[in-house]
Each structure stands twice: as structure tokens, then as C-alpha cells.
């Protein structure tokens, strides 16, 4: 037996009335731990749920996905897995919500000094475009008369 390979345990993942039996690498915080490519197809991460047009809908994670990166450095990532059966459809924003979001994003692009839309989000620390920021700092240093 490979000493680097952990012994596997059998876990039952319950989704409503049905359950799926899968091999897991152990348990962490009371949740089964799966490796890369080992989780049942009924368990998805948040980003996978989002791609499928679903959301967790307030459910707690039912398992964990643990894997290591090879580049640029070996670090361990833990992702929560959610049941697709208990997930709900993503909410569709109303036209009023979409309009409000558009106005809010447009306000983030306006410089507070010159008042023009610069086409990018200005830094939240200064709320100035780069031209006004450079002018203020050159004036403070005495470079501009």
C-alpha cells in the first residue's frame, strides 16, 4: 500500500429521499472530505452551482473538497460542497435592480475632483482619477507653480 495514500472510508450522502454512497478520505469538522475528482456528481462547489444557474439557498455544506496546487507553490485549498438537490434557482434581478446597479457602477467611475467619467473605477481611497491624483501630489511637493 502506498504510504502517502490515506485509507478511504465509505460515506453516505443524503439528498432528500435518496442517498449516494461514495469513498471519502476521512472527516473534518464532521463533514466528509473528498479529493480532486472523487466527490459524487450531486455535490458541487459554489462556483459550480453558479455556473449551473443555482445557489446554495441557505443550506450548510454537506462535504469538503480538499486539493493541493502544484504551481506556483504547493498550497492546500478547501472548498465547501453543496447538494444540488437542495439548491435553488438563482434569483433574476428586476429591471429596477438592474438600473440601480448600473447607476452605482457608473458612480464608481466618476472623479470627485474633475467630475468626469474616466472609464475605469477610481480608487476608493482617493476617489480621484490618476490625472487629478498626480496633479494634487505634484502641487503638494511644490513641483507645479
pLDDT < 70 stretches in the chain: 1-22, 144-145
CA terminus-to-terminus distance, the chain = 77
Would the pTM of this model clear 0.85, i.e. be above it? no
pLDDT at 54: 95
pLDDT at 137: 84
Residues 6+ apart with CB under 8 A from 142: none
**Do 40 and 13 meet the contact criterion of CB atoms below 8 Å apart?**
yes
pLDDT at 75: 82
Structural domain boundaries of the chain?
Answer: 9-89, 95-140
Asked if omega into 10 is within 30° of 0 (cis), the reply is no
Q: What is the mean pLDDT of the chain?
A: 84
pLDDT at 1: 36
Residues 6+ apart with CB under 8 A from 44: 52, 54, 81, 82, 84, 87
Amino acid at each position: 500500500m502506498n504510504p502517502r495514500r490515506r485509507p478511504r472510508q465509505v460515506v453516505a450522502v443524503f439528498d432528500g429521499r435518496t442517498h449516494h454512497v461514495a469513498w471519502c478520505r476521512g472527516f473534518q469538522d464532521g463533514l466528509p472530505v473528498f479529493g480532486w475528482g472523487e466527490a459524487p456528481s450531486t455535490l458541487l462547489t459554489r462556483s459550480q452551482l453558479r455556473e449551473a444557474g443555482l445557489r446554495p439557498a441557505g443550506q450548510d455544506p454537506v462535504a469538503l473538497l480538499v486539493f493541493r496546487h502544484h504551481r506556483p507553490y504547493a498550497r492546500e485549498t478547501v472548498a465547501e460542497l453543496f447538494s444540488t438537490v437542495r439548491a435553488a434557482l438563482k434569483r433574476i434581478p428586476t429591471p429596477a435592480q438592474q438600473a440601480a446597479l448600473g447607476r452605482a457602477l457608473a458612480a464608481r467611475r466618476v472623479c470627485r475632483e474633475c467630475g468626469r467619467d474616466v472609464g475605469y473605477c477610481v480608487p476608493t481611497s482617493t476617489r480621484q482619477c490618476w490625472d487629478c491624483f498626480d496633479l494634487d501630489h505634484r502641487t503638494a511637493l511644490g513641483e507645479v507653480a
